[in-house]
């Protein structure tokens, strides 16, 4: 039980589930913020970059996308840890933006902002290693202590590891119900080491958490570890951004949104999209993103799907992100946000409500099938908004047909 002392601890299964839920939401939220910034980067000399500048911008984009992919692995590891203690996955999250004190131990707001020096500074704060002081000038707001107290993401994971070591009989989940193949991501590790391993023992827990912390923060006592971490990579970009004299990103508004959400922070800057065609495209993006999340919920919930069905669900999620959501997100950063003022839109990654799974497998796939058919119809009506949109529409149609073929008797 968590007490009101100087160093509250996690010492029940329920508290550990809550802590892992928070970790899952943090990983999911970081992933989205990194993707948004990468989508805003310019992509051609026609946008005012010379060839050398474009090459550097493309390097930054590759770096950020690689970090985002690794955050997806971290998210999968947390879902495995939740499964290992008998809980379900934490897929959904609250909408952007969130002020600095939304997560207890993080000293920067969660928001969607275009790639620039201020944004990358914020990213370095998210990944700041324990033992390194922050000195970026972002003010920490005052707030009442949360029941779960930690300083920096690494400390949250240390508390989670301590709880695994201390709580008796904590590993009760079926290891065969966990994700094990790492989403096809290649990383500079030995080929014999699986990226995501089933959590069977405390040693597996220690390795999973060590991988998350090592890749995110590195170790303050190991310079090489920090250099290769998310923190180190963002730090290198931040240093270079202080030297350049060109604008690497598009004029994208902060926190683009199709509507007001009760779970976003209304005191922060929110850009409501008013251009009619762009609004439709943003709503399509959000619906596609929500369908991807539904696939993930179904995949990680292990509700009786066969291995073939699980592979289908994983492919829907992975292919949606890389072949549909990413290009559509980049398109949105080139469309007008408003009817009466300047500024480009962007993907809001909005979640329109809670989703629950039908107890019947046939119904679960039928709902997915219907959603993707709707996506295909909506995309057909938007093919003229951008030269890349016909290709995105064709990929949505291809995905819809694949799901439809599976659900046919």
Which percentage of the chain shows pLDDT scores above 90? 73
- Band of pLDDT at residue 221, cut at 50, 70 and 90: low
Q: Which residues contact 62 (CB under 8 A, 6 or more apart)?
A: none
What's the pLDDT at 136?
A: 38
Q: pLDDT tens across 240-291, in order?
A: 999 999 999 999 999 999 999 999 999 999 999 999 999 999 999 999 999 9
What's the pLDDT at 264?
A: 95
Portions of the chain given CATH number 1.20.1260.10: 1-250, 252-409
Q: For residue 233, is pLDDT > 80?
A: yes
CB 217 within 8 A of CB 129: yes
CA geometry: angle at 122 spanning 286 and 7, to 5°?
Answer: 105
The burial class, CB within 10 Å (0-12 / 13-18 / 19+), for 247 is: middle
CB 298 within 8 A of CB 364: yes
Q: How distant is the alpha carbon of residue 75 from its chain centre?
A: 8
Q: Is residue 48 left, alpha or beta, with left meaning phi > 0 and alpha meaning psi from -120 to 50?
A: left
**In the block, residue with structure tokens 């069905």:** 309
Q: pLDDT tens across 319-328, in order?
A: 999 999 999 9
Which residue, among 372, 357, 356, has the nearest Cα to 316 in the 3D structure? 372
Q: Are strands 256-257 and 271-272 parallel, antiparallel or unpaired?
A: parallel
What does residue 127 show for φ and ψ, rounded to 5 degrees? Answer: -100, 15
Which percentage of the chain shows pLDDT scores above 70? 88
CB 339 within 8 A of CB 48: no
Q: pLDDT tens across 167-201, in order?
A: 999 999 999 888 876 554 444 443 344 468 889 99
What's the pLDDT at 235?
A: 96
What's the chain's average pLDDT? 88
Q: For residue 220, is pLDDT > 90?
A: no
**d(Cα 230, Cα 65) in Å, to the nearest integer?**
11
What's the pLDDT at 143?
A: 29
- Under CATH, domain 1-250 is a member of which superfamily? Ferritin, core subunit, four-helix bundle (1.20.1260.10)
What's the pLDDT at 148?
A: 61
Q: Is residue 336 left, alpha or beta, with left meaning phi > 0 and alpha meaning psi from -120 to 50?
A: beta
CA geometry: angle at 76 spanning 70 and 79, to 5°?
Answer: 150
Q: What is the CATH number of domain 252-409?
A: 1.20.1260.10
Q: How distant is the alpha carbon of residue 366 from its chain centre?
A: 26
What's the pLDDT at 140?
A: 33
Q: For residue 8, is pLDDT > 70?
A: no
What's the pLDDT at 27?
A: 95
């Amino acid at each position: 039980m968590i007490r009101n002392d100087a160093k509250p601890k996690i010492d029940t299964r329920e508290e550990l589930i809550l802590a892992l839920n928070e970790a899952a939401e943090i990983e999911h939220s970081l992933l989205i913020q990194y993707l948004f910034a990468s989508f805003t980067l310019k992509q051609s000399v026609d946008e005012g970059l010379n060839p050398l500048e474009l090459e550097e911008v493309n390097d930054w984009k590759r770096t950020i996308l690689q970090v985002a992919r690794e955050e997806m692995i971290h998210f999968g590891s947390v879902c495995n840890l939740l499964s290992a203690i008998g809980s379900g996955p934490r897929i959904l999250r609250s909408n952007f933006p969130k002020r600095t004190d939304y997560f207890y131990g993080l000293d920067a707001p969660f928001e969607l902002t275009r790639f620039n020096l201020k944004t990358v500074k914020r990213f370095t704060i998210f990944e700041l290693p324990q033992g390194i002081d922050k000195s970026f000038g972002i003010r920490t707001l005052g707030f009442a202590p949360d029941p779960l107290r930690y300083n920096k993401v690494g400390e949250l994971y240390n508390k989670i590891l301590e709880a695994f070591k201390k709580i008796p009989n904590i590993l009760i989940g079926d290891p065969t119900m966990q994700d094990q193949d790492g989403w096809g991501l290649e990383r500079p590790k030995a080929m014999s080491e699986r990226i995501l391993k089933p959590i069977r023992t405390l040693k597996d827990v220690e390795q999973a958490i060590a991988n998350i912390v090592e890749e995110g923060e590195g170790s303050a006592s190991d310079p090489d570890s920090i250099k290769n971490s998310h923190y180190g990579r963002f730090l290198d970009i931040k240093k270079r951004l202080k030297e350049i004299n060109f604008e690497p990103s598009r004029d994208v508004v902060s926190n683009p949104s199709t509507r007001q959400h009760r779970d976003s922070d209304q005191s922060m800057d929110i850009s409501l999209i008013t251009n009619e065609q762009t609004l439709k495209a943003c709503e399509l993006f959000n619906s596609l993103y929500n369908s991807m999340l539904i696939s993930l919920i179904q995949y990680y919930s292990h509700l009786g799907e066969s291995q073939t069905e699980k592979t289908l669900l994983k492919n829907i999620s992975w292919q949606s992100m890389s072949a549909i959501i990413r290009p559509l997100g980049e398109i949105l950063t080139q469309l007008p946000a408003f009817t009466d003022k300047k500024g480009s839109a962007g993907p809001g990654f909005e979640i329109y409500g809670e989703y629950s799974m039908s107890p019947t497998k046939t119904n679960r796939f039928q709902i997915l099938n219907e959603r993707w058919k709707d996506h295909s119809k909506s995309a057909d009506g938007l093919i003229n908004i951008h030269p890349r949109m016909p290709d995105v529409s064709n990929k949505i149609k291809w995905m819809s047909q694949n799901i439809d073929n599976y659900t046919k008797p």
